Each structure stands twice: as structure tokens, then as C-alpha cells.
Amino acid sequence: MPTPCDVLIVGGGIAGSSLATALARDGSNVVVLEASRSFEDRVRGESMLPWGVLEAREVEVEQTLLDAGARMTPQWVHYDAFVPTEVARANPIPTGMMLPGIGGSMNLRHPEACSALIDAAARAGTCVVRGVTDVVVTAGTKPDHDGEVTFGVATRFGSRPSPGSTASTDVLIAALPVSSSSMTIEVLGGM
């Protein structure tokens, strides 16, 4: 693991890996710490709406998702318990007309999207560490005159400390679900 690194991202899902790819391509020294060793199907994130597709295009990961098998759909039929099926089918939502140049929503299984994106981040030069749990973040004594803060990040695999599992970084990004509880932030010194 390169340490210190420019940016350390905790969470290598769609957001964390996309950001890591963009930053690494721009020349930043990036580390991603991801809890899972392989992405499980958690039944989420199967469909990316047009504005998400636009953002994927802007950070240049759209093709990565298409190469992984993503399909574009130019309209949505919104089935609902309160809307008769024939009414829903007669009134599709035209997702392909919402944004100029974006053909609709993009559909790909969440584990496959995450896998493709974290692999792209690694190819772009990001150091990806899988199986990370219990991340502890300790801020430095105080921000320096540029407003930067150095963090120490200790990772443990299960209950055993892992060799070389400490890194420092100027920028720490938590790309985590709100429910994630295995990250502790400890502030030391005169912040």
C-alpha cells in the first residue's frame, strides 16, 4: 500500500470505485479499502437513471459498465399496485428523452457493476485492498497551513492486525452506506 497517498477512499462500491478511477487517471495516488472480498448480490442498484449515466460518462466509466454487459432502456413501465397494468403499459416513462445524448437508463446487476468499476480503478493505478474491516481513522495534530490533515488508517482483517495495514493520507473519503458501522473516527490534537 503506498503511504502517504493523496486520497484514501473507504468503500469500493459504485461511488468509491468510480471516484478512484477518475482521480487515478488524473494522476493522483489513490488507495481504496473495500470490505468485501467479492461483491455479493444485495439486491440493489440495478438501474442507473439518465442523470447517473451522464455522470458515469463525465467521469469516463460509462464504457466500463457497457463492456460489463449493461443494457440501455429508453423507457420505463412503472408497475404499481394502485395502477392497472394496461394503464401502466400505455404510459411508459420516456427515460431516453430526459437528457440530450443519453439513451435512457442503464441496467446492470449491482455486483457486476461494482466488480467492473473496482477492476477499472485498479487498472487506472489505484491500490485496491479487499477484505478490509474495522477501519480506524485518526486525524493529525492539526491541519497544516494549506488546510490539509494527515490521517492514519489502521485496517484489520477479521480480528488480526494485518501487516502493512497503516496508511496516511491528505484526503479521506468515506464512500459508505449510512448503515456502515465499522469505521471509527478519532480526532487528536488541536483541531
Ligand X SMILES: Cc1cc2nc3c(=O)[nH]c(=O)nc-3n(C[C@H](O)[C@H](O)[C@H](O)COP(=O)(O)OP(=O)(O)OC[C@H]3O[C@@H](n4cnc5c(N)ncnc54)[C@H](O)[C@@H]3O)c2cc1C
Q: Which residues of the chain form contacts with ligand X (CB under 6 A)?
A: 10-16, 33-36, 43-48, 52, 114, 132, 135, 175-177, 180, 182-183
Beta strands in 11-102 (DSSP E): 30-34, 47-48, 71-73
Q: Which is nearer to ligand X, 132 or 149 (CB)?
A: 132
| Minimum distance, C-beta of residue 147 to ligand X, in the bound complex (Å) | 26
What is the closest distance, in whole angstroms, from the C-beta atom of residue 17 to ligand X in the complex? 7
Q: Cβ of residue 133: shortest distance to ligand X, in angstroms?
A: 6
Q: Which CB sits closer to ligand X, 117 or 149?
A: 117
**DSSP type of residue 146:** T
State in angstroms the smallest separation of the CB of 176 from ligand X.
5
Q: Which position's Cβ is nearest ligand X?
A: 13
Distance in Å, CB of 15 to ligand X, minimum: 3
Secondary structure class of 59 (helix, strand, coil): coil
Whole-angstrom distance, CA of residue 5 vs CA of residue 129? 14
Cβ atoms 46, 53 nearer than 8 A: no
**Dist CA 10 CA 16 (whole Å):** 7
Nearer to ligand X, 52 or 143 (CB): 52
The CA distances from residue 91 to 72, 76, 96, 169, 173, in Å, are 19, 9, 14, 51, 41
- Least Å distance, CB 146 to ligand X, is 28
User: Judged by CB, which is closer to ligand X: 30, or 135?
Assistant: 135
Distance from C-alpha of 137 to C-alpha of 132, rounded to nearest angstrom? 13
Query: What is the residue whose three cell numbers read 472480498?
Result: 37
Strands 5-10 and 160-174: parallel
Cβ closer to ligand X: 144 or 186?
186
Q: Are 126 and 33 in contact (CB under 8 A)?
A: no
Q: Which is nearer to ligand X, 66 or 143 (CB)?
A: 66
